[in-house]
């Protein structure tokens, strides 16, 4: 099945670097406010997820979450996590690296969406 979230080679390299410094990681797609809509990287377990969050998958071995309202808005798209130069979110681990994670997206093709919708129905999403 096509993954809901993927990462570019540059993002995977930064994830490896951050994991070597901080241990196991996790991501949460920010929904706005202070850090815009950036994917935020935390030491695993330091950001509390709950029933209002959906795990989209993993990138570089790190679980990736999004809030349920955002999931409903973006469920027809694949999130592609990339890296660009600049400052990350103020609470995100990449902030001091001079790089920041960036979310790109693409709409699922019809065949991909049919497969995903069937899996979502099995999982009760």
Write down the mean pLDDT value for the chain.
Answer: 90
Per-residue buried b or exposed e for 72-87, using 16+ beta carbons within 10 Å of the residue's own CB: eebbebbbbbbbeeee
What is the band of 89 on the pLDDT scale with cuts at 50, 70, 90? low
pLDDT at 1 over 70: yes
Q: 0.85 exceeded by the pTM?
A: yes
Residue that has been written with the tokens 């349920």 in this structure:
68
């Amino acid at each position: 099945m096509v993954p809901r979230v993927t990462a570019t080679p540059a993002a995977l390299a930064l994830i490896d670097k951050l994991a070597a410094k901080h241990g196991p990681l996790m991501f949460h797609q920010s929904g706005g406010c202070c850090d815009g809509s950036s994917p935020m990287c935390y030491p695993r377990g330091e950001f509390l997820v709950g029933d209002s969050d959906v795990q989209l998958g993993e990138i570089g071995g790190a679980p990736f979450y999004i809030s349920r309202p955002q999931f409903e808005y973006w469920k027809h798209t694949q999130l592609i996590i990339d890296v660009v130069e600049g400052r990350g979110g103020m609470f995100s681990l990449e902030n001091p690296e001079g790089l920041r994670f960036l979310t790109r997206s693409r709409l699922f093709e019809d065949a991909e969406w049919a497969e995903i919708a069937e899996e979502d129905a099995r999982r009760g999403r």
